[in-house]
Amino acid sequence: MILLTVLGLWLAWQLSNVVIVVTIALVLVGTFDPLVAWLERRGFGRGRALVLVFFVFALAVVGVILLTIPPLVAQLQHIIEDAPSERRKLVAFLGQYKWANPFVKAIRAVPLDDLVLSAGNTALSYSAELLTAIGYAITTLFLSIYLLADPYGAKSVLYALTPRHHHVKLARILLELKRIVGGYMRGQLITSVAITIFTFTVLTIFRVDDALALAMFAGLTDIIPFVGGYIASAPAVIAVSSQGTPIMLLVAGLMFLYQEFESRILVPRVYGRVLRLPPAMVLVALLVGGTLMGVLGALLALPIAAGLQMIVRELRVELPGQAPPDEAIRRRDSKAEHIYERLTAGAPVEQAQEIAGRLALKMKANEKTGAALMSAEYEIPDSARRPDDPEK
């Protein structure tokens, strides 16, 4: 077992790119599946619902790129062109004070031309990696489409590889994973929209050109943990630099106050009930994810940490220092497994996974109401009835 574990970890490390693609694809599946199901309930076929959802998604991505990238590039070019004159102004301002002489010397020593040239060379060196990332993104998108187009096929493989007496736990885990991923993505959307509206309002008050583009850029970068707020605030502060230092300080203060509001009030309310992660675990998860995989790891850290915590909870693992699971919970799980085994005796895996999913939903509902799980209450779907044994 130790050798197999080491081999599995080594193989996962060697195939880290594949693992990342599959993980992101599963996140997209958990995000878009409720929308596809909602469209199906309103008369759309699954194929048409998928086409509509991903068409709107692609349209939104293209719209965001067209609205944000050109203005930001123009602003960057403007900053580069004005850098020498702005440096002269800053040196002249600080030159009035003797205590600022070290800062003046440091500013004069900055090689602006060399910085611009090195930045251009760095951008060119990252062009190949950018193309690789685009390729992985397209692959991830198509993989998520395939998984959404045939959700039962992908689940059937998972159920076939899992012993049948663990199917109910697997169904509960999949149900909770969908809730975690969906809630996390909804939370990201809420926080991104909130900072977009706030930034757009602030920049509009100060009559900044391209306020919408800068606000959308703030919404996109807000999803990056730790540094997202600073990246979002920098273009907004630079955009008002022509109006003087007091306005720049005011905008910087407003953006800082909003970041405090988001981190202390908005994020706990949005993510708290869904992820169920204590603050210390959130910080550790972000640090581990960022250390292992950079920005992408930090983005995936919270749903992965919440998912692992949920799996430990659903498997009733007794962690050191924690009280063992309640005996009533164990009896409820044992009863659910007994009901499942009776209902699926001799049934193929496709019917078994459907029954496991329905039983997991019923168990979830009974947890909220406090009702007991009764086998007589469980209605077997028509698709689970076998022609050779109608009563079963």
pLDDT tens-digit readout, 115-130: 666 666 666 666 667 7
What ranges in 206-278 are assigned the alpha helix state H? 211-221, 228-239, 245-261, 267-275
Question: At residue 283, does pLDDT exceed 80?
Answer: no
Res 385: pLDDT = 45
Res 265: pLDDT = 78
Q: Which residues neighbour 62 within 8 Å (Cβ) at sequence distance 6 or greater?
A: none
Confidence band of 379 (pLDDT split at 50, 70, 90)? very low
The pLDDT tens digits for 216-225 are: 888 888 887 7
What is d(CA 181, CA 193) in angstroms, rounded to the nearest whole number? 18
Helix, strand, coil percentages, rounded to 5, for the chain:
85, 0, 15
Question: At residue 376, does pLDDT exceed 50?
Answer: no
pLDDT above 90: percentage of residues in the chain: 1
Among 245-254, 273-282, 321-330, 331-340, the minimum mean pLDDT is found in 321-330
Res 136: pLDDT = 85
Give Cα separations from 227 to 156, 187, 188, 232, 291 (angstroms): 41, 18, 15, 9, 14
The pLDDT tens digits for 154-176 are: 788 888 888 888 888 888 888 88
Output the six-digit token pair for 279: 């603050």
Q: Which residues neighbour 342 within 8 Å (Cβ) at sequence distance 6 or greater?
A: 375
- Cα dihedral value 142, 148, 153, 154, nearest 10: 70
Q: Residue 189, Cβ neighbours under 10 Å: how many?
A: 14
Res 197: pLDDT = 92
Question: At residue 380, does pLDDT exceed 50?
Answer: no
Output the six-digit token pair for 331: 């009896």
pLDDT, greater one: 53 or 373:
53
Q: Which residues neighbour 165 within 8 Å (Cβ) at sequence distance 6 or greater?
A: 337, 341
Output the six-digit token pair for 274: 């869904």
Res 386: pLDDT = 43
pLDDT, greater one: 318 or 346:
346
Average pLDDT over residues 253-270: 82
Does residue 301 contact residue 289 with C-beta atoms inside 8 Å?
yes
Res 391: pLDDT = 43
Question: At residue 377, does pLDDT exceed 60?
Answer: no
Output the six-digit token pair for 362: 């019923």
Handedness of CA 363, 368, 373, 374 (dihedral sign): negative
Question: At residue 144, does pLDDT exceed 60?
Answer: yes
- Cα dihedral value 341, 344, 345, 350, nearest 10: -130
